[in-house]
Amino acid sequence: MSFLANIRSPAISWWRATPLPAEDPEAPSQFRRWHRFDESCGQWVVVKPTNHESAGSQRSQQDRGSDLTLYTWNVDAGARWPQLRIAAIISHLLNSTPTADIIFLQELTEPAFDTLLTDQRIRQNWFLSEGDTTAWQNSGFSTVTLLSRARFGHPQDTTPERAALGPVWRVQYPSRFGRDALCCDIFLPSAASKPEEPKSQVRLINVHLDSLALNPSQRPRQIAIAASFLQSVGRGLVAGDFNPVLEEDASLVANNGLLDAWLQLHPDEPGFTWGIDGKQHFPPGRLDKVATLGLQPVSIEVIEPGVARQLSTTEVAGNLSEQNEATNDGGQLQGVSWSDHCGLRCVFRMAPE
């Protein structure tokens, strides 16, 4: 590694106020901005992230030591009616118990993303890692992270009872398909700390690892890079579609010093998240995972996809061709599964020190 690379990573860490691993020329970081919907101008606007030093003032007593709930779902870029399906998935997640604090989405197409941007519930209640489709490039789909505005705040908020946003960025690790790791930091109160002390920094990484049984596989490198970003801060998780289709994939989480939440809590259950309907050409598999470092998984459950059967006026606006395709002779929508993947719900907390 060159001298320039050795000094560049600490410089970026200082500038961005976030710990980063030693710079890897094969995995550059591209920092981005959180977005929230501004009712006054009717647009998604950039919000300023919090840094570690300024996070302490936003804590409240009721926030201390409380659990966080993550939902992660590969929403299937290849299936028909992406707007209908993502609307159904989001409705399900927003009405689920426990309440969602963090949502990871993979394989989100531009039409599905547009549906998120126009959903009033998302506009009113969520921060988004993206405000436009620049992250999509030429791949046709991407990952998106959502954080609850009821749970997380930023310096422009006047309410002190929320945890805090940190930086958000993408790591362009080696990939046959142009995929990356979507990283963000959050700042959480710790039960043992005093209100005036800084919050604990937790790193969240949303991944859609390379697909298919291709050799040489890029998945070992991708997991190793994601793990290095967790290890640099000491506490966090990587979750999403791990695509473990080769024998070597089974040990990648443990080999990189991470804890597989499903194996920790359900060691005797298969936990299949793909192929459960028997319609695939391959046997069912546990493709989607949550892997943690310095966190304590409290619970993790598989969420089977439902069947979407109707479109609202909002969902089909400007998209009559899909509406017509989706209806039969009686005008009723044909059933379509939300996704070929199941979702995962994982409740976690900071591990005792």
pLDDT for res 136: 84
Buried-exposed string 9-31: b where 16+ CB fall within 10 A, e elsewhere: beebeeebbbbbbebbeebebee
pLDDT band at 138 (very low <50, low <70, confident <90, very high): confident
Question: Taking Cα atoms as reference points, which of 185, 100, 97 lies closest to residue 151?
Answer: 100
Q: Which two tokens stand for residue 29?
A: 């970081």
Residues whose CB falls within 8 Å of the CB of residue 37, separated by 6 or more in sequence, listed in order: 43, 44, 45, 122, 123, 124
Torsions phi, psi of 313, nearest 5?
-60, -40
pLDDT for res 266: 99
Q: Is the pLDDT of residue 256 over 90?
A: yes
Written as one letter, the residue type at 69 is: T
Rounded Cα distance, 173 and 322, in Å: 35
Q: What is the mean pLDDT of residues 115-138?
A: 93
pLDDT for res 155: 57
Domains along the chain with CATH numbers: 3-350 (3.60.10.10)
Q: Is the pLDDT of residue 51 over 80?
A: no
Report the length, in residues, of the chain: 353
Residues whose CB falls within 8 Å of the CB of residue 68, separated by 6 or more in sequence, listed in order: 101, 102, 151, 188, 347, 348, 349
The least confident of 129-138, 231-240, 313-322 is 313-322
| Interval 58-95: pLDDT, tens | 444 344 348 999 999 999 999 999 999 999 999 999 99
Per-range mean pLDDT, top range of 19-23, 164-168, 220-224: 220-224
Note the pTM of the prediction, 2 decimals: 0.88
Rounded Cα distance, 220 and 121, in Å: 38
